[in-house]
Structure 1
C-alpha cells in the first residue's frame, strides 16, 4: 500500500470511527453498557471471521502459539476497553471531545512507543517538531474540551 493510499484509508476509517461512539452509546442506553460492548465486539468478531474465511486465511489460527502472550491478548484487550469506555465517555464529552481526548492520549503514548521502539516498532526518536506537534494537539484538546 502506498503512503497516499494509506492516508486516504486512515482518514476514511477515522471518519467512520467518529460514528462508533454515538452508535455504541445508543445501543448501551437500550441494552446496558456491558451488553452493548459485548454485542459490538461480537459483531466485529463475526465480521472478521467471515472476512478471514473469504480470504482463505483460517490457517493462520494454527500459529496462535507463535506470538508472545502480550501481543496475543494486548490488542484485543485494549480494543475491548476502548469500545467499553466509549459507551459512557461519549455522553460526558460528546463525540468531538471524546475523539480529541482519545487522539491526544494516542499521540502521547505513540511518541514514547516510537522513541523507545517498544512493542516491536522501529525506533523513531523524539524530535522538537514532534514534541511541538503533540503540544499543539494538547492545546487543541484543551480548547475543545474546555468549551
Structure 2
C-alpha cells in the first residue's frame, strides 16, 4: 500500500459502516414505497445521478479504445450483481434485523472473496488459502451464528 494513501483503510471502514446504514435506509424506503422494484429503481437512480454528476465534474481520464477492447464481458455486470444485495436489503433487513443481515452479508462476502483470491478469479492476483484465513472465516461464521441466535 502506498505510504501516502493513509486514507484508504479509514475510507473502507467508513464504507462498511455506511453499508449497514444503507441497508436500514433501504428497508425503510421499501416499507414506505411498498413496491420493492420501485424502491430499488429509486435507490439506483440516485446512485446513477450521483456518479453521472461526478463524471461531469471530473471527466478525465476517459477510457481509450484499447481499454474498452480489453474489457472482459463480465466486468459490466458488477452493478447488477450489486443490485442483488440492494434488493435483499430492501426486502429482508426489516425481517432479520440490521445486525444479522450485515453479519450474513459480510461473512458471505468474505468467504467468497477468499475463494476469488485463492483461485485468482476475475483476473485478481492469487492469494492462496492458508490456515489463518480458514480459521478467520470459521470465526466469522461462529460470530454471525451467535448474532443471529441472540
TM-score by length of 1: 0.91
**Is 1:70 matched with 2:74?**
yes
Find the residue that maps to 1:124 and give its secondary structure.
coil
Counterpart for residue 112 of structure 2: 109
For the aligned residues, what is the CA RMSD? Answer: 1.8
Equivalent residue runs for 1:1-147 within 5 Å:
2=3, 4-31=6-33, 32-57=35-60, 59-60=62-63, 64=68, 66-73=70-77, 75-147=78-150
- Tell me how many residue pairs correspond in the alignment: 146
Show structure 1 runs of 4+ deviating over 6 A: none
Structure 1's unaligned 5+ residue stretches are none
TM-score by length of 2: 0.89
- The CA distance in 2 between the partners of 1:65 and 1:24, in whole Å, is 36
- The CA distance in 2 between the partners of 1:24 and 1:79, in whole Å, is 14
- The CA distance in 2 between the partners of 1:55 and 1:61, in whole Å, is 16
- The CA distance in 2 between the partners of 1:65 and 1:80, in whole Å, is 26
